[in-house]
Chains A and B, each alone.
Chain A
């Protein structure tokens, strides 16, 4: 079947902040050539590690985010290396790098330098703070992006420190924005034949993940605090609930679905509804447990106080019920009754997900260079006409030097 980016060549010289961008575009069919320094990309030596394989081939984050790419080693700090890189750039539609402004200028690898050898190049820069502004050359790592974008301030327990988002979301946000920007530039190039610069700042890339915090600060002049959702929503059937084997999150108090009556039905099915099926509670639930009441009660302690005993009792019954049953049961049976319940999944739960299994989402791919077969997550989207595919494992260090440089020689000979 056709691939959306068949025939598009991308030179990916980015560090860890940009690995995911090239991976997505490679999955769409682009020929992505990863350019690493001779000692290898730093993430090759980042744990966790693949057991039984030596460095620099065992860093699992590297293996995940650089699958589907070919790999070459070029020393960009060396003039001959840069020349070779520019020769490669001539054959590419897109160059991705993560050089900061000073580095790009010192190496003569700015957008203008690339345009000098390939006038219609799409040049994507992915850095912590962008190429302009007073912080353009600041040092960054993933957690710094979480911090300066405002997202970290919202995460964590009220009494504890702000917490990073898991699994490199600073880097991933930057890469996700970069992939979209590159894709946009490719569409424009297709229409006009013109390239352009695509620039991503991790700080900006994550900003929208502040949810409503930015708008609240702008409109009301107040800042959202972390820990509030866990602490503030003690309404029956709303929020995190402990189960026999973990946790679920419930929104069974209005909003959508069958709401609290649906939850009572779920509890009654295993004889756990206690007195919530009584006439008294049935009437109370019918009258009070709806979105209007919930929103009002959340906002106004006075509305809520006279009802507190009943609400507390209902919460107790629900919490007792949840503790008796496994999370997968509560999730699937609840959802079957249109009660909004989500299971707090561990990595293993996701690997075992019946939904992902039914959609054949995970993919196994042999990695002959490392002597293993790896189990990969599937694509972000299912394009029915041009599906993303996983075609090759992450390159060994310098694995495609001969192949790619030979192609380059052939291209140069053909041009001459």
Chain B
């Protein structure tokens, strides 16, 4: 039984029971991938340093006036079920200990740039010599080879290069992106999980480990490839069209009247998203809004007609929506089978009756941050649940344990290494 497992229920099988994973990632895309692996029950050790801590450890959101490395919600949501060990891999002794962990591990992952990977001595030649059967994923921004492989950047930089900014929004507005470093959170980390598990599947069949070169650029472009695939294959140049799409109309966000939340606070910025992808959706929308005549209007007879007259169509839907109560409009449309949903803010998502009923968010007690909401797993497995079970580790919380149990160091040796700032 691993200490980071669902220890309250010893009978629940863990998908990756017994798999040893060395996590040399930081920031978003790497740690979220390894969080998911840890949630599957792998014994996962994340190596950090206090000399150069993960920026997320000191990022917002934190409780007001809070200081220290253990209070950031940004970090704490993305590192559940992990052990944290502080080793300075840039020191000679630290590197030796790092290689011992490589030998311990079945799998490892890093998302540093190739240059930084060489600096900490964790390139494929080195790790595969230390552990020939290992699966090692390298997930730098642009991959391990090519003229841009050493380029630096965080999610905001990648978002521009991979096309999020160039695709989102409307012509006429600057390409400001989608308000987040979008591909850091699901696209790149969960792609990485699939790749890691595929490699594990292969290793268990053949005994062979392998190197995985996972370029965050390629991973991101692959998930945003529709427009460029269409353009290069003759469909014409991509045009940014806000909330519209080629394949459905009406399709957009329509402002509704201020509603009341349970707490009674006003919501001046309240919208309902509607996306009619079938003729049935469209006719149902017309009927449900009390405008059966729309369905008979020659301007809107087919999808092509509705696309050709989309400004007029959107104006009609917007006029209908504007005085509606949002919840009531959503209920009316859903009762008629029209794809419609309120644009929820984060508070509303946390309290959303569907999310609550399904128990998506997990509330874990953290020794410094208190009882906090955590994202659950994006997939539910009926026999081997992958939901987070243990709070994210304090910085170096498991250094002593790992140094003793895995690295075989004595308390005196550990004290010396702490004094030498190899372990800290």
A387–chain B nearest beta-carbon distance, Å: 10
* Chain A residues positioned under 8 Å from B348 (CB to CB): 150
With A161-B252, A166-B227 known as contacts, the answer to whether A141 contacts B345 (CB < 8 A) is no
* Chain A residues positioned under 8 Å from B85 (CB to CB): none
The closest CB in chain A to the CB of B363 belongs to A218
Query: A251 to B153, Cβ gap below 8 A?
Result: yes
Query: A48 to B211, Cβ gap below 8 A?
Result: no
B93–chain A nearest beta-carbon distance, Å: 26
Query: A215 to B73, Cβ gap below 8 A?
Result: yes
Query: A386 to B210, Cβ gap below 8 A?
Result: yes
* Chain A residues positioned under 8 Å from B273 (CB to CB): 143-144, 146-147, 152, 162, 164
Query: B378 to A214, Cβ gap below 8 A?
Result: no
Query: A358 to B145, Cβ gap below 8 A?
Result: yes
B3–chain A nearest beta-carbon distance, Å: 21
What's the Cα separation between A183 and B381 when bound, in Å?
A: 11
Residues of B210-247 whose CB lies within 8 A of A: 210-215, 217-219, 221-238, 240, 242-243, 245-247
- With beta carbons under 8 angstroms apart, the residue of B198, B236, B340 that contacts A48 is B236
A232–chain B nearest beta-carbon distance, Å: 11
What's the Cα separation between A247 and B173 when bound, in Å?
A: 12
Check: B130 CB closer than 8 A to any chain A CB: no
Query: B381 to A185, Cβ gap below 8 A?
Result: yes
What's the Cα separation between A218 and B348 when bound, in Å?
A: 11
Query: B225 to A167, Cβ gap below 8 A?
Result: yes
Query: A204 to B201, Cβ gap below 8 A?
Result: no
Query: B178 to A154, Cβ gap below 8 A?
Result: yes
Residues of A327-354 whose CB lies within 8 A of B: 331-332, 335, 338, 340-351, 354
* Chain A residues positioned under 8 Å from B117 (CB to CB): none
Mark contacts of A156-186 with chain B using CB atoms, 8 A cut-off: 1 yes-contact digit, 0 otherwise: 1100111111111100110011111101111
Extra 11 A-B pairs, beta carbons < 8 Å, given A179-B194, A361-B218: A60-B235, A145-B341, A150-B345, A181-B378, A201-B360, A203-B355, A215-B373, A216-B61, A247-B160, A354-B147, A383-B199
With A135-B354, A213-B345, A240-B175 known as contacts, the answer to whether A342 contacts B158 (CB < 8 A) is yes
What's the Cα separation between A201 and B358 when bound, in Å?
A: 10
What's the Cα separation between A61 and B142 when bound, in Å?
A: 25
What's the Cα separation between A41 and B276 when bound, in Å?
A: 16
Check: A226 CB closer than 8 A to any chain B CB: yes
Check: A148 CB closer than 8 A to any chain B CB: yes
With A144-B339, A179-B194, A350-B221 known as contacts, the answer to whether A359 contacts B73 (CB < 8 A) is no
Query: B341 to A183, Cβ gap below 8 A?
Result: no
Query: A359 to B204, Cβ gap below 8 A?
Result: no
What's the Cα separation between A340 and B194 when bound, in Å?
A: 29
Query: A152 to B15, Cβ gap below 8 A?
Result: no
* Chain B residues positioned under 8 Å from A153 (CB to CB): 343-346
A231–chain B nearest beta-carbon distance, Å: 9
With A151-B180, A157-B173, A381-B191 known as contacts, the answer to whether A375 contacts B232 (CB < 8 A) is yes
What's the Cα separation between A227 and B375 when bound, in Å?
A: 24
Binds A, one of B164-172, B289-297, B395-403, B414-422: B164-172
* Chain A residues positioned under 8 Å from B154 (CB to CB): 251, 255-256, 340
What's the Cα separation between A383 and B137 when bound, in Å?
A: 9
* Chain A residues positioned under 8 Å from B150 (CB to CB): 335
The closest CB in chain B to the CB of A299 belongs to B60
Query: A385 to B174, Cβ gap below 8 A?
Result: no
Check: B350 CB closer than 8 A to any chain A CB: yes
Question: How many pairs, one residue from A and one from B, have CB atoms within 8 Å of each other in the complex?
Answer: 534
B140–chain A nearest beta-carbon distance, Å: 12
- With beta carbons under 8 angstroms apart, the residue of A143, A208, A350, A386 that contacts B243 is A143
Interface size on B, residues (CB 8 A): 158
With A147-B344, A214-B350 known as contacts, the answer to whether A382 contacts B143 (CB < 8 A) is yes
- With beta carbons under 8 angstroms apart, the residue of A134, A228, A247, A347 that contacts B357 is A134
* Chain A residues positioned under 8 Å from B160 (CB to CB): 247-249, 342-345
Check: A56 CB closer than 8 A to any chain B CB: no
Query: A199 to B179, Cβ gap below 8 A?
Result: no
Interface centre among A20, A146, A156 (most CB of B within 10 A): A156
What's the Cα separation between A355 and B159 when bound, in Å?
A: 16
With A186-B201, A247-B175 known as contacts, the answer to whether A208 contacts B378 (CB < 8 A) is yes
B218–chain A nearest beta-carbon distance, Å: 6
B32–chain A nearest beta-carbon distance, Å: 7
The closest CB in chain A to the CB of B235 belongs to A48
Check: B382 CB closer than 8 A to any chain A CB: yes
Binds A, one of B4-12, B98-106, B182-190, B404-412: B182-190
The closest CB in chain B to the CB of A238 belongs to B156
What's the Cα separation between A24 and B190 when bound, in Å?
A: 12
* Chain A residues positioned under 8 Å from B358 (CB to CB): 130, 132-133, 201, 204
The closest CB in chain B to the CB of A348 belongs to B231
Query: B152 to A214, Cβ gap below 8 A?
Result: no
Query: A28 to B198, Cβ gap below 8 A?
Result: yes
Query: A383 to B163, Cβ gap below 8 A?
Result: no
Check: A219 CB closer than 8 A to any chain B CB: yes
Check: A140 CB closer than 8 A to any chain B CB: yes
- With beta carbons under 8 angstroms apart, the residue of B32, B179, B238, B338 that contacts A154 is B179
- With beta carbons under 8 angstroms apart, the residue of A157, A200, A248 that contacts B380 is A200
8 contacts between A and B (CB under 8 A): A47-B247, A61-B226, A180-B36, A201-B358, A214-B373, A215-B77, A216-B60, A228-B179
